Structure 1
Amino acid sequence: MKVIICGAGQVGWQIARHLSGEKNDVTVVDNNPELVRRATDSLDVQGITGFASYPDILERAGARDADMVIAATFSDEVNMVTCQVAHSVFAIPRKIARLRSQSYLTAIYSDLYRRDHLPIDVVISPEREVAEAALQRLSAPAAFDTENFLGGKAQLLGIQLDEDCPVLNTPLRQLTDLFSTLRAIVVGVRREATLFAPEPGDQLFAGDQIYICTHRDDIARTMEIFGKSQTKQERVVIIGGGNVGLGVAEALETRVDRIRAKMIEKNRSCAERAANALERTIVLHGDGLNSELLAEANIKRADAVLAVTDDDKTNLLAAVRAKAEGCPMAICLVNDPTLVPLMKPLGIDAYINPRATTVSSILRHIRHGRVRQIYSIGDAEAEVIEAQVLSTSPIAGQTIRDIDFPEGVLVGMLLKDDKVVKPSGGTKVNEGDVVVIFAMAADVPEVERLLQVSIDFSDGAPS
């Protein structure tokens, strides 16, 4: 597949890394020569320096015979014009654009992206993706990472194991025997900064970060077995009233379980906009690092603080201060992955990486086969892939133990006839089943082959 990626920032670079690693023909376009050089030096991609929306630049990037353009520059307008030029001049079949401004995303204007208007096939909104990720973190407060699969019927949980975890030093196959009715499988373990797919004989140790695939109805029991208590979130303080904070607050207001939220926003006009848009959320104007303002927001009685300003360091400090003032749980928005190792020493419970959520969202729309969802783990170390099994797939009709999966691959959950099934070696995978698979990055191409990659890339649209 020939792909042009416009924008060589973190998102563009990560997408290029994924696609070039899978032997696609990738060209990266950016008007910053340093970013283009970084991409071409570190990845197996071609690079063009220039404005992605210019027809001559796209032509130099190979637009005449490209299969797809991904517009992920910092400018919404450049991304939109790039897709228009890609369609009108070069007839590129598939166009994906990252759009940040909420005005472009309002549902009443969705008609804008029709083929005969602005021909964008897939619109990715980082702010909406991040707001959804924040809500998921709140729904499983003891987990540092969460993602829904199988239409919300299954969930991936990232859990840090403490010294008091009751199942330490127990082989995983023994856990299956001890908790035979538990619909949960440990699919990934990060130990001493190295992520791997565990074997049945592997044990878990204090300090391990584990990824578990679990049935929605078994989340509370799973957390309890691995030493985590689930507390109901009733009061939340949101620091940052931009698009992400506002999106989270609006979603909380619509929930049935009535979570009470307070928001702190430093910029007056931004605070006023949030106050006008929200009905039940109290909006305070001021600095989220101010102890007096945190006291006014009643941070001591809050169940969680969500720091989602556009500045990583402010988010880290605000989260630390909120915890120092008595808030039991802190969730941070962090763009810079090099800051993630600071989370544990600072006592921050969970983080959201907007770039990782955007990368996951874009990958979901460009994978081959009947891929319905992709979630990128860590610094693109592994992926959790949800896909429908096609009749042409090599795994159709086989039991899991007979499928020649690479070592870094585990099946986490199956959907059979609308019923979620915990897989075992003897589970048969049939055409039409939906599988949730954990795969180390190096093994993703083989997983795609086993899921039967279609030469028609457009089959990657959500099914």
Structure 2
Amino acid sequence: MGAMKVIICGAGQVGWQIARYLSSENNDVTIVDSNPDLVRRATDTLDVQGVAGFASYPDVLERAGAKDADMVIAATHLDEVNMVTCQVAHSVFKVRRKIARLRAQSYLDPAYGDLYKRDHMPIDVKISPEKEVAEAALQRIAAPSTFDTESFLDDQVQLLGIALDEDCPVLNTPLRQLTDLFSTLRAVVVGVRREGTLFTPAPGDQLFAQDQIYVIAQREDVDRTLDIFGKPTRQQERIVIVGAGNVGLTVARELEKGRSKVRVRMIDNSRHRAEVAADALERTIVLHGDGMDAEVLLEASVDRADAVLCVTDDDKVNFLAAVRAKTMGCKMTIALVNDPTLVSLMGPLDVDAYINPRATTVSSILRHIRHGRVRGVYSIGDAEAEVIEAQVLSTSPIAGRQLREVDFPEGALLGAIRRDDQILKPRGETRIVEGDIVLIFSLAADVPEVERLLQVTADFF
């Protein structure tokens, strides 16, 4: 696999995670940040070079090796710095591929799309954390009985994260028996997290209460899959959103566009933000008040809500508002959590689902820079595993072979195959052919081996 030379600007969570992925795949990575401590943290813990300085300054980019870089990823916390960095990388150093994280809605308005043309401000890929997070929130609301969900293979297949309860009808049954029992079900259990450890199950393994499982299911079979694992689907009709920032607003807008039955109420403790939201939305009722306050939550009818979505910019507020809503009788709570170490508190605090904006941003950036034929990648948990969607090339060691002949690493499972427009459920005798698109769940340690099996070339343009 040909290595790329990549410059990552911004050594925060997002820059660090992307540097970690790319350097582990033997790319030549340089990380740039104006904060020398963050640069040092990256160079101490990762196999990367570091430059302290302002990423948009031509001399700083030059020190970072921009003259022969293949790609610049601008993920500092300032939109304008990210934009100018891409401009300088293009105009001065002729860097071919430029990705920028942009937050402000105005920069993302399609009406102004001409701004990013090659001869104006050349940015190839614009990533908006708010947009990504709003999408993730809508997915969580749409699949209320899952703690994680993502679509693959052009929306024909879904990954479902399901927490199993005592009343799950298929506990203590070897998975191979489930395959026989539900022979027409196009769904595969690809991962199990038990007592904090994620593993890929063998056919003889059983599932237990309190397991968190990851299932890859064909879209038409999602409801049936949820049903089999004891999670009947129900319509979400009453939704309360705590936080009227960009994320809350985007979600409320999308919900208003959708089915007419949804009733949305929104709470924000800033009078200004509440007024802006009330003007921007049509059917949503906006309340000014503290989302952690019991009286305010009652006024928003949290006790009768199907879901409460806590998306303020403060993790602690999100967690506490979710906990309080749950104790008041709300059926499902979703919290926005920036600090991945807080995720372990979800269980004890009975928060149903979380969204980590950095994880969604990282996976959307990676989706645009994977080598060759990898079309998508989604990071599971605290980067414990990845779901990889890739096209099988003629050079791939798996092309033309039956699955049972392929030596997949222990931590990897094939979840679905798309051939032409058919989705196939993988079986031992299935033969993989060139052009197939495969969906593979892989523990982090086995990703390099999976990529070797896909024999992906370094041509990423």
- Residue 393 of structure 1 pairs with residue 396 of structure 2: yes
C-alpha distance in 2 between matches for 1:242 and 1:428: 49
SS at match of 1:429: coil
Tell me the residue number matched to 2:308. Answer: 305
Structure 1 stretches lacking a partner, 5+ long: 459-463
| Alpha-carbon distance between aligned partners in 1 of 2:373 and 2:258, rounded to the nearest angstrom | 32
Equivalent position to 2:143, from 140, 145, 151: 140
Matched, 1:344 2:347: yes
How far apart are 1:237 and its partner, in Å? 0.4
- 1:130 and 1:253 mapped to 2: Cα distance? 17
Residues 291-315 of structure 1, C-alpha deviation per residue, up to 9 Å, x if partnerless? 2221121112211100000000000
Tell me if structure 1 keeps the 8 A contact 2:337–2:356.
Answer: yes
Which residue of 123, 131, 134 maps to 1:131?
A: 134
| Structure 2 counterpart of 1:241, from 239, 244, 263 | 244
Residue among 378, 383, 386 paired with 1:383: 386
What is the SS of the residue equivalent to 2:111? helix
Note if contact 1:369-1:452 (Cα within 8 Å) is conserved in structure 2. Answer: no
1:363-410 per-residue CA deviation (whole Å, 9 max, x = no partner) reads: 100001222221101111111011222233222222222222211111
**Match for residue 200 of structure 1?**
203
Alpha-carbon separation, structure 1, partners of 2:49 and 2:174: 46
The answer for the alignment partner of 1:15 in structure 2 is 18
2:279 to 276, 281, 292: 276
Q: 1:370 aligns with which of 362, 366, 373?
A: 373
Show the counterpart of 2:94.
91
Aligned-partner Cα distance in 2 for 1:399–1:273: 58
Aligned residue in 1 for 2:47: 44
The Cα offsets for residues 59-85 of structure 1, whole Å up to 9 and x where unpaired, read as: 111111111111111110111111111
Structure 2 equivalent of residue 442 of structure 1: 445
Partner of 2:360: 357
Distance 2:445 2:91 in 1: 37
Structure 1 position 229, deviation (Å): 2.3
Structure 2: unaligned runs, 5 residues or longer: none
Which aligned segments of 4 or more residues in structure 1 are displaced greater than 4 angstroms? none
Shift of 1:201: 1.6
Counterpart for residue 335 of structure 1: 338
User: In 1, Cα distance between the equivalents of 2:458 and 2:142?
Assistant: 39
Tell me if 1:415 matches 2:442: no
Identity in percent: 73
- Report the AA paired with residue 217 of structure 2: T
Q: Does 1:169 align with 2:172?
A: yes
Q: Which residue of 1 aligns with 2:27?
A: 24
> What is the distance in 2 between the residues matched to 1:258 and 1:119?
42
Q: Give the Cα–Cα distance (whole angstroms) in 2 for the partners of residues 367 and 446 of structure 1.
A: 15
Give the secondary-structure state (helix, strand or coil) at the position aligned to 2:154.
helix
Q: What is the Cα deviation at residue 174 of structure 1?
A: 1.4
2:297 alignment partner, one of 288, 291, 294 = 294
Determine if the alignment matches structure 1 residue 232 to structure 2 residue 231.
Answer: no
Whether the 8 Å contact between 1:369 and 1:451 is mirrored in structure 2 is no
| Distance of 1:323 and 1:406 partners within structure 2 | 41
Q: Distance in 1 between matches of 2:82 and 2:117?
A: 15
RMSD over aligned CA atoms reads 1.2
122-131 or 440-449, which deviates more: 440-449
CA distance in structure 2 between the partners assigned to 1:266 and 1:419 by the alignment:
50
| Alignment-derived partner of residue 152 in structure 1 | 155
CA contact (8 A) 1:368 1:448 kept: no
| Aligned pair partner of 1:254 in 250, 254, 257 | 257
Closer, same or farther: CA 373–257 of 1 in aligned 2, 3 Å: farther
Instruction: Output the CA distance in 2 between the equivalents of 1:54 and 1:29.
Output: 11
Structure-2 residue corresponding to 1:428: 431
Q: How far apart in 1 are the matches of 2:141 and 2:297?
A: 19
C-alpha contact (below 8 Å) 2:374/2:456 kept by paired residues:
no
CA contact (8 A) 2:386 2:444 kept: yes
Residue 449 of structure 1, CA deviation: 2.5
Aligned partner of 1:368: which letter?
H
1:28 match: secondary structure: strand
For residues 393 and 136 of structure 1, what CA distance do their matches in structure 2 show?
33
Greater displacement, 236-245 / 199-208: 199-208
Moved more, 129-138 or 443-452: 443-452
CA distance in 2, matches of 1:232, 1:372: 32
Q: Mean Cα displacement is larger for which, 439-448 or 329-338?
A: 439-448
> Are the counterparts in 1 of residues 393 and 455 from structure 2 also a CA contact under 8 Å?
yes
Q: Deviations over 1:74-133 (max 9, x none)?
A: 110111111111111111111110011111000101111111111111000000000000
Deviation of 1:257 after TM superposition, in Å, equals 5.6
1:407-461, Cα deviation, whole Å (9 max, x unpaired): 1111111112212221111112222222111111122222223223222232xxx
1:34 corresponding residue in structure 2: 37
When the two structures are superposed, what TM-score results if normalisation uses the length of structure 1? 0.97
Which residue of 2 is the match for residue 461 of structure 1? Answer: none
Q: Does structure 2 retain, via aligned residues, the 8 Å contact 1:375–1:383?
A: yes
More divergent stretch after superposition (291-300 vs 9-18) = 291-300
Alpha-carbon distance in 1 for matches of 2:57, 2:101:
18
Counterpart secondary structure, 1:236: strand
Deviates more, 1:242-251 or 1:145-154: 145-154
Matching residue of 1:100:
103
Q: What corresponds to 1:65 in structure 2?
A: 68
Map Cα deviations across residues 336-388 of structure 1 (whole Å, 9 max, x no partner): 01111111111111000100000100110000122222110111111101122
Q: Which amino acid aligns with 2:55?
A: A
Q: Does 1:121 align with 2:124?
A: yes
